[in-house]
Structures are given as structure tokens and as C-alpha cells.
Structure 1
Amino acid sequence: MSTPTFRLPCMISVCLIASSAYSAVSFEKDLLPAITKKCVDCHKAPHVENGQKKEPKAGLRLDASWAILKGSENGPVLTPGAPDKSGIYESVMLPKDDDGHMPSKGEDLTKEEIALLKKWIEEGADFGGWVGSVEGMPAGAMTESAKPYKPRPHDLFYAALEKEVKPLADGVLAKAKAAGAQVSPVKVDSPLVRVDFLTGVSKCDDAKVAEILPLKENIVQLDLGRTIITDGALKTIGQMPRLVSLDLRQTKITDAGLESLVGLKKLETLNLYGTEITDAGLKHLARIKSLKNVHLWQSKATKPGVNQLSAAIPGIKVSIE
């Protein structure tokens, strides 16, 4: 798995496996076997092969915890707590025909393995005592890799949101799963959850979204990218008081539908990549003062419209190209 200069793709989430949803990911048990099988051959300590010395691609080694933390010749590839800022995750999420997609050859990571990688990073990227190869390890690397993960501001934000939120009942979770939803806590032992339908995007319509309404108090992240929802689903979403991140990329929602979201007081990130949203829709978004990031790649919005949105919400980051 080689590592080019990483580009930030659109905000993409993947389904999380129910069997691991409510327990912390073990790097050595859950991730290392896949990385060893599919990635390490190209990303290990310098060695001689067929009489020639081979260096790890892009200078990135994945055969040791300290080496992963060190990163590649292009810089860090792992930011604990932030998959969207971790090249090791972003590269496996790129389309196969993208030059940056990894692994560049051989078998790809499965959806389950990618989901575990994402969850592991979100939980702080704890290697759990695994060190790996010590060949070439600089002095002090062990101490550096053993530093505890410092919670990000978002972790504290979620902790505040958890107050007075009850864990979801098994029956409620079962019904959501039956509707095709993948549900996972945002962190270990948290009642707050992320939801997506990525195992069946072509079947996720407005009715399916309505079936997760019983989870509304607990949902903080919702990914409906590439589903067949319409504005009707946005009326359901507008009833989720703790929703922080919403992915609507490549759906058929319209400007008018965005008005249903103006009551979301906690919404910070909204992905509208590949939609038909225009400047008219941005006028509705201007009323959501909690917004911090809006992604408008390949939408119908214009730079003047983006400028107006930025003026309405100081400090907001809007990506349009």
C-alpha cells in the first residue's frame, strides 16, 4: 500500500460492523492481520529482494507502531481521533481508479476492515502495547508512541451532548437494523450514535429514514450519501436535536428541502457534494448558525452564494471546488 501526497476527499463514512460496534477496536487483533496481509509487503523496513535493496513505498512503514506514527515522506498519515485527517484512512476510501487509492495492487481492504480502521482512529488510535519491528527505530520512539491520547474538543463536545441521553433499547436497535441501518456509538460506552445505510444505499428511501426516528435523541452523525432519499427524508432529519454531522452527498434533495434543517441547533458539518443545491439552498443554510463546515463540490452553488453564506456565519468553512 503506497502513500502519495494525500488529498482530502469528500466526507465519506463507511458502515460499522454490529459485532464490534459496542467494544473498542484492538489494533493487534482486529486490524494487524489485514494490514500485514495486504499492506506490509510494500511498507516494511528496507530489505534486500532478488539482490536489490527495497525501500518502503513513500517512506511509509506499517510494520511497527512507532513507524506508523512517524508517517511517510509526505508527513503524518495518522491523526488519533480524526479519520478525515488521517491519510492512512483517506487513501483506502478513494475510488479504485484514483491514483491515490490504496492498496495500489493486490486485494483491497474489505468494508468491514475499513470500518474497523475508521473506528480505531476515532477511538484514539491506541496500539494497545503492540510495537512491531524495532529495526531502524530511533531512540525515544517507544516513549513517543506510548503517550496517551488527548481528547479533542469534539470529544468534550460529545460528552456535553450525552447528558440526559439514555442508551438505546435493544428493541429499538433491532428495528433500525431491520430497516437496513448500521448503528454504532461515536465512542466506547457512549449513548450517542452514528447511523448509515451504506450496505444498501440503493434501497434507502424516505420511508427507511423515517424508521430511524425512534433513535432521534441519540443520533449525532448520519450518513445518507448516495441513497435515493428525497426532501421527505429531510423532514425526518430535522427532528434530530443532537445531529452534528450530516452527509447528503449525491442525493436528489433540493433547495426547498434544506429548509427542514434550519431547526438543527447542533449541526456543524453538512456534505452536499454532487447535489443540485444552488445559492437558493444556501440561504436556508445561513439560518443554521452552528454550521462550521459545508461541502459543496460539484453542486450548483456559486462563489457569490458561498460568499453570502460565509458572511452570514462568521468562521464557517465552505468547500466548493
Structure 2
Amino acid sequence: MIAVLLEIREPTSMRIPLLAVPLVSFLFSGVSLAVDFETEVWPFIEKKCVECHKAPYEQNGRTKKPKAGLRLDGAWAWTLGSENGKVLEAGKPDDSELYIRVTLPEDDDDFMPPVGDADPLTEAELALFKKWIEEGADFGGWSGNLEGKPKDMSNTGDEIPVSEIQELYSKLSEGLEKPDEKSWDPVTAAGGRVQRLASDSPLVAVDFRLTRDEATDEKIASAAVIADHVADLDLSRSQITDAGTGILKEMPRLVRLNLSKTGIGDSALDNVTGLKDLRYLNLYETKVTDAGLKKIAKLSNIEAVYLWGSGATKQGVKQLSNALPDAKISFK
């Protein structure tokens, strides 16, 4: 804590203390102010860019492909770039083709997004985008759409070295048979989506994003039929409760868990502490408090925790950072 003392000097040189104000500076709290891709950058990229730059899809009997071969709906795709080469240079926005395109004059033929397709990025969005690139273009725990991802790429581009993520998934796949797609029919019937992490992998990613408003504990529990195979679970904005998180105990191979913008609180984390291979945990805008952070501190292998808008305090986050010095703790 820093005290700032303001003084008035009288002609007699007598000093009179006017105000002593305790300041808690974020700069001294040990908490990073890094831009978070998933919560700050992805929303406007998804709204203004992804319509033209997503996975191929059928429309009126024809296959619609992403413009210039560039996909922005998955972290791995940003790393892959377009048919013309790389579009992102970590740390160098002025050398990043994507940033250059969105900052061109609107009457330039290469301006993105094209006039009439979507609104241009605002000044605030451009500033966030630039800062994110300057800070290293870190996707954090966001992986996005895995459809079409090359086998030799990690889900989040360069977030985890390819060799490390492959080694982890290989380890988790040992002795596990590849499930038949019909085995997850109960999940899709309940409104969930299931994708293999790779065509030959027994591990899957599950999410309820398309039916989040109807994704109750009961429907999410449908994932129990393939719980042993789930490595990536996205329950963001779903209706899951603390009680509903009990299913997490049945997912020993979980690597990435997104519970952002749900109503879960501290007791839900009792079902997370046993996930020894968990690397990413998103608790953005949840009711988790400092009491819950003490439980997260038990996750010795965790690499990234997102706590923006949660009930945690700066002091609690600082203590968590001290307990997990190698993890990225994102908080604002």
C-alpha cells in the first residue's frame, strides 16, 4: 500500500498535512493487465469478420469457402494464415497482414471488412487488437472451431508447443478406444455438439453453445455417455448449476474447461480439484470468490485461469498467482 502525502507550504515554511490517501496500484499487485483474446478480441472478430472467414459450408447446393482461404474461427487457423501466407506476426502489429487490412482507408480495395459486409472496427476495437498482437497474440484457453485442423497443429496455435500438446493427448489416449459417433447420440439429442480432437483420436470436445439457454444440468449430464473421452468441455453461458458440475468428476481426461458466464460458484470447484490434467479453466463472469481460488490453487498443472468479472478480489488473485507462479492468471 502506498500513501501519498499532499502538503501546503505556508510562508513560515510550516508544513500542514492536507490529505493522506492510501492507493492500491494495480501495477504493484502482480496481476497482469494483458488483453484477453476470448473476452475482448474474439467478440468483435466473430461479429465483423467470421461470416466471410469460417469453415466451408453448404448453401443452396454449393460449398461456400472462406475468402482467400483464411479462417478466423479457430486459433490454429490464425496461425495457418491465408492462401497468401501468414496474417499474424506475434508482437508486430505493423507487420501483421490482418491488422494492416483493418486499418487501411475504407475506400482501399483490401480494406477489411469490405464496406457493406460489416461495420469497420471501432477505434477502441483497433486499439485492443493492436495491443493483443503487441503482447504476443496469445489465444489463452480459446481454441475455437477444430474442424479441418491439421493433425500436426495444436488446438490453440502456438499457445502450447505442438510436441507438448501431442504428448499430453497421446498420454491421455493410451488404452482408450476410439468411440463410435453413434455413442454420443444422447449428447446431440440434448442439444450438445461433439467433435473429435483429430480424426484418429479417441478424445473429443463437447459444447452446448448453440443451445446454451436450454442447456440445463439434466441435458449437460447427457455427456456422461462419453465422459471418459472428453478433453475439452465448453459450458459457457449454459444454465449449469453447482450441483450440475458433478459430472466433471467423471471426466478424468479433461484438459480445457470453460464455465464462463454461468451461475456457478465456489462449491462447483470441489468437482474440479481432482482434474489433474486440466490446463485451462475459464471462470469469466461467474460467482467464484477468493474462497474458490484456494481450491484452484490445488491444480498443480494448470496453465491459464480466467477470472475477469468474477467475485474474486485482487488480493485473492495475487495469492493464487503466488501459489501457481507458472500459470497465467487473467483478471481485471
In which range does the TM-score fall when normalised by the shorter chain?
Answer: 0.5 to 0.7
Question: 1:119 is matched with which residue: 123, 144, 147?
Answer: 147
Shift of 1:118: 4.7
Residues 168 and 313 (structure 1), Cα distance of their counterparts in 2 relative to 1, 3 Å cut: same
- Aligned partner of 2:263 in structure 1 is 252
Q: Does 1:311 align with 2:322?
A: yes
Partner of 2:249: 238
How do 1:71-86 and structure 2 match up within 5 A? 74-76=94-96
Q: Per the alignment, in what secondary structure is the counterpart of residue 66 of structure 2? A: helix
Larger RCO (alpha carbons 8 Å, 6+ apart): 1
Counterpart residue number, 1:285: 296
Q: Please, which of 85, 103, 108 is the counterpart of residue 66 of structure 1? A: 85
Q: Deviations over 1:92-145 (max 9, x none)?
A: xxxxxxxxxx7475447xxxxxx99653456457xxxxxxxxxxxxxxxxxxxx
- Note if 1:33 corresponds to 2:65: yes
CA pair 106-212 structure 1, distance change in 2 beyond 3 A: farther
SS of corresponding position for 1:217: helix
Q: Distance in 1 between matches of 2:259 and 2:204?
A: 17
Distance 1:64 1:274 in 2: 38
Query: Can you list the C-alpha shifts for 1:212-259, whole angstroms capped at 9, x where unaligned?
Result: 112111100000000111012211112210000000000000111211
The structure whose residues are more often strand, as a share, is: 2
CA separation of 1:65 and 1:167: change in aligned 2, threshold 3 A: same
CA distance in 2, matches of 1:118, 1:312: 32
Distance change (3 Å), C-alpha of 1:7 and 1:249: closer
Superposition misfits of 4+ residues, deviation over 6 angstroms:
69-72
Q: 2:225 aligns with which of 214, 237, 243?
A: 214
Task: Count residues with an aligned counterpart.
Answer: 231
Q: Are 1:10 and 1:295, in contact at CA under 8 Å, matched by a contact in 2?
A: no
Matched, 1:8 2:37: yes
Amino acid at match of 2:331: I
The unaligned stretches of length 5 or more in structure 1 are 1-5, 14-24, 40-61, 79-86, 92-101, 109-114, 126-149
Structure 1 position 289, deviation (Å)? 1.7
SS at match of 2:39: coil
For residues 171 and 32 of structure 1, the distance between their equivalents in structure 2, rounded to whole angstroms, comes to 28
Residue in structure 2 matching 1:201, options 207, 212, 225:
212
Name the SS of the counterpart of 1:259 in structure 2. helix
**How far apart are the structure 1 equivalents of 2:188 and 2:317?**
37
Instruction: Give the distance between the partners of 2:215 and 2:171, measured in 1 at CA.
Output: 31
Q: TM-score, normalised by structure 2?
A: 0.60
2:56–2:65 Cα contact (<8 Å) kept: no
Query: What secondary structure, in the 3-state scheme, does the structure 2 residue paired with 1:184 have?
Result: strand
